Amino acid sequence: MASSSLVVLAVLATVAALLLSPAMPLPVFTGDSSPGFHAASCPQLDGIVWSSVEAALRQEVAVAAGMLRLYFHDCFPQGCDASILLNTTAARETALGPNLSIQPRAMQLIESIRARAHAVCGPVVSCADITLLATRDIIVISGGPWFNVPQGNLDSLAPASQDKVFDLPAPDTASVATLVNSFATRGLGDVADLVALSGAHTIGRSQCGSFVDRSKRADDTFSRKLAANCSKHPERLQNLDVITPDLFDNAYYKALGFNQGVFTSDMALVKNKTTAPIVKRFAESKDAFFGQFARSMEKLARVPKPAGNVGEIRRFSCFRTNAQRADAATVDAAGKEEEEGFAASA
């Protein structure tokens, strides 16, 4: 009996050691954007991301635009580190704009992929990596180009600092010069980067409050139509691409040629002597747009991180750090805020 008890105790000790140790050694980030980065630690990852994105798009096509916005607003301020997911609802509205119902759905997609991947592989994939992969896949499924995204990014330990959030240019009022200068500070110094990334407006919708400057100008037929529509229905959602709003293609640039850009910054691209020829080239050739868009998205994914690739892999939720998990009050408050955000935007 004593011998049997010792065996049982030994087994229990072994099981406890396994439960307390990581599922497997974490892959080491080398800056390599190879699709095989997670091949050893989570070979099922690509399939999990793709199937999750497909299912999300079947439920709500607007989630594609939401993912694109999260990709840009996470990577542009301080590199791709999932810091945007830690921000409070108020802070995200500052960065992303208020009343954007697609954002919570996109955020929940990232969290659902994390939960699936960690259940299968253990906590070896960061929320930052998932955001990049899911956005790339959702663009491809929506008709756009495939591109590499760097993997091995760690999740930040804190939200993006407000000074970096406010570095983001305002789409409704920013001039081409302001946008070019802003993009250059993040390693996106080619003017074609600005024009190509603006092409993300080929999918998605926006509320009237986000393009007030354009509609109030009333300087062409389309802006007067925007003003009239918003006057009658202030809560309406305006397609950013008035030709093929749910398809990722080059129709956005064709619409600009007819003065049908929703934002002031959209129309600035066709009025500026440097950017206008690029707009024309993209309107004439989808391949030219896709090629530059892919290159620019890869560059955006590599915006330098001020402190380097430091942080963690969030094990419990993309919406809070691992340290917050130990504080039940913090966890409850974060969960309540997220649930309220989803309910308010449903």
What residues are annotated to the active site? Answer: 73
Q: Which of 245, 275, 246 is nearest to 260 (CA)?
A: 245
Please give the structure tokens belonging to residue 116: 């699936």
Q: Which of 102, 237, 267, 70 is nearest to 168 (CA)?
A: 70
Q: Widest CA span of the chain, in angstroms?
A: 92
Please give the structure tokens belonging to residue 177: 């010069």
Asked if 277 and 224 count as a contact pair (C-beta separation under 8 A), the reply is no
State which H helix or E strand residue 335 sits in: helix 328-345
CA 119 to chain centre: 23
Label each residue of 97-144 as H, E or C.
CCCCCHHHHHHHHHHHHHHHHHHHHCCCCCHHHHHHHHHHHHHHHCCC
Asked if 181 and 171 count as a contact pair (C-beta separation under 8 A), the reply is no
DSSP 42-78: -TTHHHHHHHHHHHHHHH-TTHHHHHHHHHHHHHHHH
